[in-house]
Chain A
Amino acid sequence: MKNQFTLVEVAIAIGILAMGIAAGMSIIGAAKQRMSKAESQWKRQHALTQAAEYLLLAPPDTPLPRSIFDYPDFNLTINYSSPENLPVNVPASLAGWRLTALHINLIGRNGKLADSIVIDRLLRGGN
């Protein structure tokens, strides 16, 4: 007598195949998500670096030209403040030079802060 597959066996085989495909899709989906996350993180860091490199070359209050910073998805806010956590008795201004903290904030389309960087910068001026 020829033993044929029963309905239960076929159903189990299809179930295992479906589980394998689902697992594969889930792995690829997770990889895609991680890739997308890495790419958007790189893009934010890259946009900040691009801005910082130019701003450190230019005098303060120089606007970023579009040929350097062309990211429609982002806006920048740039401001200077006094440096924080300086040791006691260390002046922020000395002999015509002033230590400042350059804040570069990357703002996303939704108006929320996407990323930021703070760079210590010496400027002329001060006491």
Chain B
Amino acid sequence: MKHIIRRNFTLIELISAAATLTMIAVTIGLVLSTVYNSWRRADAGHDRLSEKLRIDAIVNTAFKNAVPFNWKTPDLKNTLLFTGASDHLLLACLHRVTPDENAGIRFLKLYREDDKLIAAYQGTPILSWDEAPGDNLRTEVIVKGIANISFLCADIDKLNGSVQLFNQWDENKDYIPQGIQITIEWKNGEKESWFRRTAGNGHLQSFSLPKNF
């Protein structure tokens, strides 16, 4: 007859097993934590680059194709639809005609709302004196997590040709800036600027409407 003798684990064996398991758990935990952090950094980098590419797209379409556009105020005064303030921008730009937006000109407003950069746009004029948003006004969040935005408008000095930069575009000017810059500061301290010439403007060529247009 065969007798099976069951032997309990000794204290040393239990301690060794517990220590081995702990080491394996700690190692796996560290490795997984490293993997997770790496993935999170890569993901955050991807998000940030995507945001920058979105701003690239806006400045390369809206800023570069910005054109002067006049509209009548309620008191029938001709006024240029352009606002270049330090914290928001309103402009008209040439745009491809799309089936749902049957217009070759798009009106765009860029502004900050909380920690977001918002683009509001439509195919009919966005009027600074009209409080109610148009029926076709669309808004998109371009960037999140921003601490501040600012704009600069460039004007060429007619006398010496030098470029002057303004935080606030003089609304009495009857032409749009020759260049526009948007600067975005993120909450993490990162800061980036985008400067683009408008309407194909250059040192020797600039586009402005005649006064009686």
Contacts and interface: CB of A to CB of B under 8 A. Distances in A.
Contacts of B28: 17, 21
A28 B42 contact: yes
Query: What secondary structure prevails in chain A residues at the interface with B?
Result: helix
A57 B179 contact: yes
Contact of A59 (B39, B179, B194, B203): B203
Contacts of A124: 204
A39 interface: yes
B124 interface: no
Interface stretch (A63-71, A76-84, A86-94, A103-111): A63-71
Interface in A6-51: 14, 17, 21, 24-25, 28-29, 31-32, 35-36, 38-39, 42, 46, 50
B109 interface: no
Interface stretch (B30-38, B80-88, B94-102, B128-136): B30-38
A32 B193 contact: no
Contacts of B41: 32
Contacts, number: 83
Interface of B: 24, 28, 31-32, 34-35, 38-39, 41-42, 45-46, 48-49, 52-53, 56, 152, 154, 156, 160-163, 165, 178-179, 181, 191-197, 201-204
21 contacts: A21-B35, A25-B34, A28-B38, A28-B42, A32-B38, A32-B41, A32-B42, A39-B48, A39-B49, A42-B53, A50-B194, A54-B154, A54-B179, A57-B154, A57-B178, A57-B201, A57-B203, A59-B203, A62-B162, A67-B193, A68-B181
